[in-house]
Chains A and B, each alone.
Chain A
Amino acid sequence: MPFDLFINGQSCLTGDAPVEDFAPFLDVRKLRRAQAVSKNALLCACKALAQAQLTPQAQTDMGISLALGAGALESTLKFIDTIVEDGDELSSPTAFASSVHNSTALMLSMFLHIHGPCIVTGQFDSSFAAALLSAQQFLQKNMCEQVLVVISEDINPLVEQCVQQDAHVFDPFIYQPQSAFQRVAGAFVISAKPTEKTSHILRQVSLSRTDDISTQSQPQFPVSSCAHSVLLFEERLKTNSPFVWREQFAGSILEITGEPYVFS
């Protein structure tokens, strides 16, 4: 059943969020203990909400659909490090608590005052498509009026080192990087009805599985997993023209049809 989605604000980030960029939105001192994957997600979310003219105090009926390719790796590995280096009896409970995928959702909910439905997806390349589908479902079921779709991808130093030694060691699951791995994040404010700030309309979003695990698209960005799809999506939006975007990743097919929104 067709169900249009309207994009009212968007922001993407490659690399880590500069501390000074948080200043217009919140007290950066509160983020001292936050991991990069959460801070990047939060900064993109703040900027997307600002573009949608929604202030971080007024999200009364908003949901969160968060996509994490490989989870909160920084904290996960930090926790394992403390087990390996200090022994399990001295392992860090703080790192453990931050290692769950939900820790980034908490940051979004807590700092942006969003208390609607929240779903988090973790399945590498196809996380972004599933997150968009979840947003569509929240809106179609009237679970909220707007959804903040956020994508944040961490880097895995073990995977990075293996790929640096043999670029194709994890084909087709990790793309050959042209340069060092970077964190990537993105955020989109999406609604079921257009607002004054609507920039694009998405006519179709689909995610399907295929037995073909080859990656048919040529990687354009030196990043992996769901980060790649969010950057490709941002490129489609930047063209400011109608698009039919079909991307095959390892075992999954993402299709999004959209166009710039024209106020009538």
Chain B
Amino acid sequence: MKLSSPVSVVGTGCICACGNTPQQSFANALTGQSYFALPTQRVESTYTAKYPVFLVPPSDYADKPASLTHSQFFMLQAAKQAFLQAGISPQQLDASRVGVIVGASVHPSFHCFFSYKHWKNHSFTAQDTQEIKKYLATPLAQWLSAQFGFTGPFQTVVTACASGTDAIGMAKNWIDTGLCDVVLCGGTDEVSESPYDGFIRLLVSTPEKCRPFCKTRNGINLGEGAAALLLANKKTVQKFSLSCQGYVLGYGNACDGFHPTAPDPQAVGLQKALSFALQEAGLTSQDIAFVNAHGTASQANDSAESVAFHAQLPGVPVWGSKSVTGHTLGAAGAVEAVLTLQALNNRLVPATAGFTEPDEQLNLIPTTKPLPITKKFAVSDSLAFGGCNAAVVLGACDAF
């Protein structure tokens, strides 16, 4: 790994349980407000009476066309916000030089749950055939690229809960290596039957609000939403006089190969990812204002993460934002990166909602009240099923 130039983030977008813009999401993260409800309208499960999740408020997708999945709609809204904030129209760009990378988990999986159920129950109809065809016709990144008329490379990243962070890191690579001038990247996911039941059956969901890094933490809450970051090379920034929302400075990725669902307790892969990201950024832990942790509030995740933070980011303040967004799976890394940029630019790190009692085993106390910061760099990391770990180093808009 070698030092590379920072890549400019010229636009951001975000829609999740705590807001429908990056600014609103951050403002609500500061006060701990978000939409936490039982997903009775969205999921047919006996568990819906018991396990609430962090949902995008229905009013935020009231105009969603029936032809789009929630994942598609959320991602499109976030992407449009990113272009709006950048102050550039997609048509102004050289379409062949714009890449699109989207991280997700539900949409790229076989998500035609009800059509499959009809097939199993011998009640499959022509409408179900159309559902299957729609699924086959909309690989996520390719579909998003088509919405803006781009013709450059595209990639749907499916490294489970690390997808959003990987999408941002790979987008930086695409700019660094000259593959693209501009990359629209991010992540999107939705609450649906399979992950909702799956996480409950794995006994890692909690019916209460999650409490990252708390001694009494007892599991995760699912969430949903999307976030987009528009990355541009120097030539494009100068050509269009684009404003700067921040920077991506480093990306690290390493796999554990340890267990299907649990992280390596020694967090060797995560430590490697953090170390790579810092090296590429040319920074040390002393330059980092805070880390936006994966912080799912599961016993295993928070324990492994604390080991990695003590080793790679000693003394760096930790924020767990999933207690206001929920675990948005493939979107998580992107949502957290956008919130991290907001915190850097506002010089204020929100409190970790839900945290009440330190866990001596972790020896780590996350932010317990809004924390003013002066440093201009932060880390956001993600861990995933299958042992994939990813981290990005981000910079404030005035970092350079």
Contact = CB atoms under 8 A, between A and B. Distances in A.
Interface of A: 1, 3, 64, 68, 70-71, 73, 76-77, 79-81, 83-85, 87-89, 91-93, 96-103, 105-106, 108-110, 113-124, 126, 130, 133-134, 136-137, 140-143, 156, 158-159, 161-162, 169-170, 173-174, 206-211, 213, 250-252
A134 B171 CA distance: 11
B336 interface: no
Nearest to B389: A118
Contacts of B27: none
Contact of B194 (A70, A96, A141, A156): A96
A123 B141 contact: yes
B159 A102 contact: yes
Contacts of A136: 177
Contacts of B299: none
Interface stretch (B54-62, B131-139, B358-366): B131-139
A156 B136 CA distance: 12
Interface centre among A3, A109, A156, by most chain B C-beta atoms within 10 angstroms, is A109
Contacts of B235: none
Given A96-B202, A119-B253, A137-B177, A109 B387 contact: yes
A97 B385 contact: yes
Contacts of A252: 142, 154
Given A109-B255, A209-B142, A83 B193 contact: yes
B92 interface: no
Given A122-B108, A123-B141, A137-B177, A100 B116 contact: no
Interface stretch (B6-14, B67-75, B143-151, B288-296): B143-151
Contacts of A137: 170, 173-174, 177, 179
A93 B202 contact: yes
Interface stretch (B82-90, B209-217, B256-264): B256-264
B152 interface: yes
B317 to A, nearest CB: 27
A89 B203 CA distance: 11
A99 B179 CA distance: 32
A116 B153 contact: no
Size class of the contact patch on chain B: 35 or more
A248 to B, nearest CB: 13
Given A101-B159, A106-B259, 4 more contacts: A84-B121, A102-B384, A109-B387, A123-B156
A16 B174 CA distance: 35
A114 B201 CA distance: 30
Top 7 A-B pairs, shortest CB-CB distance: A102-B386, A109-B257, A96-B198, A123-B139, A173-B136, A101-B158, A106-B386
Contacts of A130: 153-156
Contacts of B96: 208
Contact of A88 (B45, B108, B159, B387): B45
Interface string B256-296: 11111100000011001000100000000000000000000
Contacts, number: 233
A122 B384 CA distance: 16
B240 interface: no
Contacts of A109: 255-257, 386-387
Nearest to A157: B119
A153 B25 CA distance: 39
B109 A76 contact: yes
B132 A159 contact: yes
A209 B152 contact: yes
A106 B162 CA distance: 14
B239 interface: no
A162 B142 CA distance: 25
B136 A124 contact: yes
Nearest to A95: B198
B132 A121 contact: no
Given A109-B255, A113-B257, A87 B46 contact: yes
Contact of B160 (A76, A77, A101): A101
A261 B141 CA distance: 34
A159 B202 CA distance: 29
Contact of A84 (B117, B129, B141): B117
